[in-house]
Amino acid sequence: MNNTDLPELGLDALARIEQARKEGHELVAAAQFGGNQVWRSAQSAAIGWDSELLVDARDQAQALLVQGQSVAMILYFDVMTYECFSVTLAATDFESLVEKLGAKAAGEFPGDSAALQSRKQEWRSRAAGRIVVQNAAPDRNNRTFWSDLQTQFSAIGLPHLYAFHKKGWWTIGGLPSDPAQSRTLQGAFSVATCRAVAGLGFADRSVALAVWLDLLQLKSLHYADGCINNLCSASAEYCLELETRAIEPGGKVQTPGLDKLSAAEGKNEARIQPDKPAREHQEDADEVKKEITRRKALLREYKSATDQPSNKRIYQAANSNIHKPQFYAWLDGRLPVKSVTTQKFERFLREKKRPIPRKPQD
């Protein structure tokens, strides 16, 4: 299966797929290097070529290689599948694509076939869940359920929680630095998302988080530039909308405020349409380089005026209006010039505001 066999993807999407393939080969090379190190160490210590030490070393080296190939295979498969998932809405079309993409990934990186089968099932379930929750009509008998769930999301109490895509799957950011507290709060959010998608008729808990965040990406005003910001608020607000739909006849939102929300959702849908096809892509490479140079210069000027704060201090600041994935997307030119995040962040840089640390979570 060549790239020409994929759905019509934009140049940016194809570049991300190629980058994943390269990263996969780097992972395999690192695994081979580790295996060679094990083998050389065994050779220097073994007595005779039939030594048990050499036999064990050979097995360890092979296991490292298979592990590296498996990780690379899943990485490559996930990135390809996500790009196709973003532009393929019909379940039957996506089902056939998953098989083709799995074969392509396994052909490039012959890893653990059982791991690949498991991942393919997760993607099938995620695609099925997307259809179920987007087409669900809230039950009038469930309005108390959505009210309770709104309270559950709000009670998590993490105002800076956000989600972004990483290698095809959602990653949660903004969690407390303490590992135990982070696990507890992320667990609380995951439990709430499982309840939410179950309330919309989808029961597979293994991909419930992805299905809920896919829905917020499409429906929430908090989604912008690849991130769902204020994740607990975004979830609570959408539960409020579902509660309202459950109350109104026909499941439709009748209030003026939510009518405005529906209009804004249309803008969100336009924002997340797939990349333009390659034949329509007219972005000039020289202009991109100039834009990257301009952004780096702006960042240097800011750092020079504010005692050289690190990138981490900047994107973790309460007043910078940007999160880590958006920051690096801005820095390497992927975040659009006209995006709200770009405009707010560059205003922050031009005004030479010192980064204010976010308040630690209790």
Residues 336 and 281: their CA atoms lie apart, in Å, by 14
Average pLDDT value over all residues in the chain? 82
Q: Does the pLDDT at position 337 exceed 70?
A: yes
Instruction: Identify the CA nearest to 162 among candidates 152, 171, 150.
Output: 171
- In this prediction, residue 252 has a pLDDT band, given cuts at 50, 70 and 90, of very low
Residues 308-323: pLDDT tens digits?
A: 999 889 988 888 888 8
pLDDT at 260 (0 to 100)? 34
pLDDT at 59: 85
How far apart are alpha carbons 179 and 64 in whole angstroms? 28
Task: Answer for the pair 174, 163: CB distance below 8 angstroms, yes or no.
Answer: no
Residue-wise DSSP of 258-326: HHHHHHHHHHHHHHTSPPPPGGG----HHHHHHHHHHHHHHHHHHHHHTT---HHHHHTBTTS---HHH
pLDDT on residue 3: 55
pLDDT band at 110 (very low <50, low <70, confident <90, very high): very high
pLDDT digits (tens, 9 = 90+) for 254-280: 333 333 333 433 444 333 344 444 444
Place of tokens 């993607």: 123
Q: Which residue has the higher pLDDT, 95 or 93?
A: 95
pLDDT confidence band for 56 (50 / 70 / 90): confident
What pTM was estimated for this model as a whole? 0.69
- What pLDDT does 46 receive? 61
What torsion, rounded to 10 degrees, do the Cα atoms 231, 235, 236, 237 define?
100
pLDDT reading at 190 higher than 90 = yes
